[in-house]
């Protein structure tokens, strides 16, 4: 059966059976472990509930489309061909089952009937808009929506790099400090690590033609001894370890990054290399297996969300590089209701075949003189391509975490997967200079206070769940992984204005405070 576009006629309704059916994805896989210490099968995005098998062995299960899942397959990499199989359970059915188990309903249970949507999406960690929203149809997708990788290495792998870049002054010498977080992985268990980290900052200008190539050039560190760091440590029980290191550069050695309309979007490459101590101490047949490298792009800028006292409340505006800016922009919903298309840099816009849909829309925002987009909480943590484009075009990002217009559970399993989700995605996204501010949710505070979903009779219980999720888990997890930015509890909210211990304002939309609207 060939199904036409979901956007045509009543195809969304006529094909709703797809989301209520279990599916199996399968392919053949043959691998060799050779001399590697670690061989991991890594799924960067599985939507949503699946049991993962390699041959007859159950590797594990997935339950959160925003998570990365890693499985040790070294013992199965013996050269034989095995079937790699993902048995998907319907997320629609799973959400219904979870709803039956609850004494207090997590509201709203369903979207309005006119949406022809599905129910209880707030009980599962999936793109919330995929069960229908006021702007889009129901498309409860199921499948592998991000890359799958076989990862081979024999020492440590650099998974993520985070940065916190700030201005400082040393003996009248103006500098930038770059606090780098290097997240190393050693399989799935705790082991000792011993090696050397090397850090370099490089700049490449615009390539105007083949005859005028601007090759990368190094940015001198204020203290060249900071270029390397010896590491002796242990990874934790999950095979993970954070190494922190500070670099400094003179201010006159770099240019600032500016939002669209205020200056250039100058970007630099931060290169980090891990080299195991054994690389130079003994002769190895494959030394590259003990080396890991990663490059991210960074920008030198400051962003402050100013909330100074005013005569009738608090100010609420952004100051970038000490310049107040008027934020002009739009609300960004996923570029497709099918999440894998938002991640596909080759998925083309129907208006023009020259650009991908994401590139087309971001260029349109830039050309319309916007300088900020708000990544909405009912959608996705967007692709690396999206954030790189935002950096290049000078589009600041107000970033919601993926919770919107709803109450949510606060049981232990839900909080655990949310903490992992926030941790992984903030670490991946955090280094982009375009990210300006985080908000833990979209409209959930105002929905609770204004009784959108008839929560008033059980207000204290729902308020406690709200506090457990956003105050006790989401916000501190964001702050632990990104100390560089402001984290708002909701949008809209009163910002910094709240009574002691009051996390649900009497009027979250008060125009005198925060982003009330």
Q: Three-class SS string for 31-47?
A: EECCCCCEEEEEECCEE
Average pLDDT, rounded, for the chain? 94
**Domain 11-150 class?**
mainly beta
Q: Which contiguous run of DSSP H or E holds residue 29? A: strand 23-32
How far is residue 251's CA from residue 285's CA, in Å, rounded to a whole number? 44
**pLDDT computed for residue 207 by the predictor:** 43
Residue 399 burial (10 A CB sphere; 0-12, 13-18, 19+): buried
**pLDDT computed for residue 351 by the predictor:** 57
| Strand 396-400 to 372-375 pairing | parallel
Residue 120 near residue 148, CB atoms below 8 Å: no
Residue 159 near residue 274, CB atoms below 8 Å: no
How far is residue 510's CA from residue 445's CA, in Å, rounded to a whole number? 13
Closest of 509, 481, 483 to residue 183, by C-alpha: 481
**pLDDT computed for residue 344 by the predictor:** 79
Looking at 3.40.190.150, 2.40.10.170, 2.60.40.10, 4.10.320.10, the CATH number of the domain 156-298 comes to 2.60.40.10
Distances (CA, A) of 156 to 228, 427, 449: 16, 18, 48
What are the tens digits of pLDDT across the range 231-271? 999 999 999 999 999 999 999 999 999 999 999 999 999 99
Tokens matching residue 18: 């797809």
Q: C-alpha dihedral over 346, 339, 73, 186, to 10 degrees?
A: 90
Q: Do 11-150 and 303-488 fold alike per CATH?
A: no
What is the SS3 assignment for 50? strand
Q: Of residues 424 and 347, which shows the higher confidence score?
A: 424
What are the tens digits of pLDDT across the range 163-203? 999 999 888 889 999 999 999 999 999 999 999 999 999 99
Q: Of residues 513 and 355, which shows the higher confidence score?
A: 513
Neighbour tally for 189: CB within 10 Å: 12
**pLDDT computed for residue 210 by the predictor:** 46
Closest of 480, 515, 467 to residue 242, by C-alpha: 480
Residue 398 near residue 487, CB atoms below 8 Å: no
Spatial CB neighbours of 461, under 8 Å, sequence gap ≥ 6: 104
What are the tens digits of pLDDT across the range 31-59? 999 999 999 999 999 999 999 999 999 99
How far is residue 220's CA from residue 254's CA, in Å, rounded to a whole number? 10
Query: CA gyration radius for the chain?
Result: 24
Residue 101 burial (10 A CB sphere; 0-12, 13-18, 19+): exposed
Backbone angles phi, psi at 20, to 5 degrees: -100, 10
Across the beta sheet with 38-43, what order do the strands follow?
A: 69-72, 38-43, 148-153
Tokens matching residue 189: 């268990």
How far is residue 493's CA from residue 451's CA, in Å, rounded to a whole number? 16
End-to-end CA distance of the chain: 47
What is the SS3 assignment for 174? strand
What are the tens digits of pLDDT across the range 119-137? 999 999 999 999 999 999 9
Q: What is the DSSP letter of 220?
A: P
Q: Where are the domains of the chain?
A: 11-150, 156-298, 303-488
Is the pLDDT at 348 greater than 70? The verdict is no
**pLDDT computed for residue 498 by the predictor:** 78
How far is residue 171's CA from residue 150's CA, in Å, rounded to a whole number? 50
How far is residue 331's CA from residue 268's CA, in Å, rounded to a whole number? 28
Share of the chain above pLDDT 70, in %: 96
How would residue 286 be classed by pLDDT, with cut points 50, 70 and 90?
confident
Closest of 193, 113, 210 to residue 158, by C-alpha: 193
What are the tens digits of pLDDT across the range 401-456? 999 999 999 999 999 999 999 999 999 999 999 999 999 999 999 999 999 999 99
Architecture of domain 303-488: Alpha-Beta Barrel (3.20)
How far is residue 449's CA from residue 460's CA, in Å, rounded to a whole number? 11
Tokens matching residue 329: 């922009």
- b/e string for 156-185 if b means 16 or more Cβ within 10 A? bbbbbbbbbbeeeeeeeeebbebbbbbbbb
Within its chain, how far is the Cα of 281 from the centroid? 38
Residue 145 burial (10 A CB sphere; 0-12, 13-18, 19+): buried
Task: Give the mean pLDDT of 321-336.
Answer: 97
């Amino acid at each position: 059966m060939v199904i036409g576009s979901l956007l045509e006629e009543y195809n969304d309704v006529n094909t709703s059976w797809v989301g209520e059916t279990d599916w199996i994805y399968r392919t053949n896989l043959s691998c060799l472990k050779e001399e590697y210490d670690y061989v991991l099968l890594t799924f960067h995005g599985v939507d949503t509930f699946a049991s993962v098998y390699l041959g007859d062995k159950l590797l594990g299960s997935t339950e959160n489309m925003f998570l990365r899942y890693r499985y040790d397959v070294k013992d199965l990499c013996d050269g034989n061909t095995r079937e790699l199989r993902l048995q998907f359970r319907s997320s629609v059915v799973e959400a219904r089952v979870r709803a039956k188990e609850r004494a207090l309903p997590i509201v709203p249970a369903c979207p309005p009937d006119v949406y022809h949507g599905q129910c209880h999406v707030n009980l599962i960690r999936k793109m919330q808009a995929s069960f229908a929203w006021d702007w889009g149809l129901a498309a409860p997708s199921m499948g592998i929506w991000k890359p799958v990788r076989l990862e081979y290495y024999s020492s440590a792998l650099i998974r993520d790099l985070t940065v916190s870049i700030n201005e400082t002054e040393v003996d009248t010498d103006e500098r930038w400090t770059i606090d780098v977080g290097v997240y190393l992985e050693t399989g799935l268990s705790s082991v000792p690590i011993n090696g050397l980290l090397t850090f370099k900052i490089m700049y490449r200008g615009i390539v105007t033609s083949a005859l005028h190539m601007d090759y990368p050039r190094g940015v001198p560190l204020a203290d060249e001894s900071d270029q390397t760091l010896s590491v002796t440590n242990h990874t934790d029980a999950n095979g993970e370890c954070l190494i922190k290191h500070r670099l400094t550069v003179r201010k006159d050695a770099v240019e600032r990054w500016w939002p669209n309309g205020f200056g250039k979007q100058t970007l630099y490459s931060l290169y980090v290399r891990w080299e195991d101590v054994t690389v130079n101490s003994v002769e190895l047949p494959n030394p590259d297996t003990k080396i890991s490298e990663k490059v991210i792009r960074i920008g030198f800028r400051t962003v402050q969300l100013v909330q100074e006292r005013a005569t009738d409340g608090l100010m609420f505006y952004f100051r970038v590089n000490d310049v107040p800016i008027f934020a002009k922009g739009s609300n960004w919903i996923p570029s497709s209701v099918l999440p894998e298309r938002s991640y596909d840099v080759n998925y083309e816009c129907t208006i023009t075949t020259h650009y991908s849909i994401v590139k087309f829309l971001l260029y349109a925002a830039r050309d319309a003189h916007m300088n900020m987009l708000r990544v909405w909480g009912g959608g996705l943590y967007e692709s690396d391509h999206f954030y790189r484009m935002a950096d290049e075009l000078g589009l600041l990002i107000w970033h919601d975490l993926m919770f919107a217009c709803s109450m949510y559970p606060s049981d232990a399993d839900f909080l655990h997967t949310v903490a992992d989700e926030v941790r992984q995605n903030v670490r991946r996204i955090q280094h982009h200079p375009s990210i300006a501010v985080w908000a833990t949710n979209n409209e959930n505070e105002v929905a609770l206070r204004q009784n959108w979903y008839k929560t008033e009779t059980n207000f204290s219980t729902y308020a406690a769940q709200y506090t457990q999720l956003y105050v006790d888990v989401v916000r501190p997890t964001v702050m632990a992984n990104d100390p560089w930015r402001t984290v708002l509890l909701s949008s809209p909210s009163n910002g910094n204005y709240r009574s002691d211990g009051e996390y649900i304002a009497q009027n979250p939309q008060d125009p005198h405070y925060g982003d009330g609207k």
